[in-house]
Amino acid sequence: MPRTLITGGAGFLGSHLCDKMLNEGHEVICMDNLITGDMDNIAHLMGKDGFSFVKQDVTEYIYVAGPVDFILHFASPASPIDYLKLPIQTLKVGSLGTHKTLGLAKAKGARFLLASTSEVYGDPEIHPQVETYWGNVNPTGPRGVYDEAKRFAEAMTIAYRTYHGVETRIVRIFNTYGERMRVNDGRAIPAFMSQALRGEDLTVFGDGKQTRSVCYVSDLVDGIFRLLLSDYHDPVNVGNPDELNMLELAEEVLAITGSSSKIIHKELPKDDPKVRQPDITLAKTVLGWEPKVDRSEGLRRTAIYFREKLGL
């Protein structure tokens, strides 16, 4: 039975990866300091054979007894609300946390997968974004703590592969949604869902014409798992290339939830990307992967989860 360590395992994506790896026959060690993670996300796994939880900050020394075959480094604040509130922690988990987990991978002979992000492209000047694009990032802007932490983490991961021979994989994750997102996450879909279901106005920033491409969580997890088991070690975009603007997304959420809420506009945050769309040619070619869940179906499932979470 392979042993897999998942940092940030009590978070939105991390918890779904815990499910996936257990279902694939892995023993899973879930590690999280719970600053943005939630034990509710893994409550159904507690006491299950092959699953264990360790509360720990991965920026500190990490000790794991016994063999480790795979390490998935998903620990990090990931929404603007989180990394604006936790800038130092965000920088530390991207730098020190990546260093510690890579060091563990080297010591254990484990394959290491880094959760990177489309944010490494910043406010892109190339559209859609391809893996060879170097990005347009403001290192001293409000989003810089997250963008640069992930860019550093990629460089550190490549260095460990080049100089220490660690088997590494890098996934650049584009906007993802689904069950286990936090109600107060701050990103578009959880914000729209919670506002619509509560009968509140939906807040759209700027004119709402900025675009995103949203991927349902099960599709993303499938892409990550395929990358982990592949022989490809350079960064790979994983996301849904079906692009839409924020006004369109807000209207879709209103339709899915049956809400009569209104859409209001607020000032666009500084350095908010104007466009975001993955080129997934590489994922299709190398991993044989592309998203399968239609957005309307994904939003329907997500709305059911948010109704339950809000007690509605």
Residue 170 in 3-state DSSP? strand
Q: Could you tell me the end-to-end alpha-carbon distance of the chain, in angstroms, rounded to an integer?
A: 41
Token reading at 38:
């939630």
Rounded CA gap, 20 and 42, in Å? 12
Q: Which of 61, 63, 121, 146 is catalytic?
A: 146
User: Among candidates 95, 96, 86, 108, which has minimal Cα distance to 29?
Assistant: 108
CA atoms within 13 A on the CB side of 309: 23
Under DSSP, the state recorded for 286 is I
Distances (CA, A) of 9 to 115, 149, 224, 238: 12, 19, 14, 19
Question: For 304, phi and psi rounded to 5 degrees?
Answer: -60, -45
Token pair of 242, please?
């079906």
CB 256 within 8 Å of CB 296: yes
Beta-bridge mates of residue 173: 117, 238
Q: Which helix (H) or strand (E) holds 312?
A: none
> Residue 163 catalytic?
no
For residues 216 and 177, is the Cβ–Cβ distance under 8 A?
yes
Nearest to 101 by CA among 138, 70, 144, 133: 70
- Which sign does the torsion angle of CA 118, 121, 125, 131 carry? negative
Residues forming the active site: 146
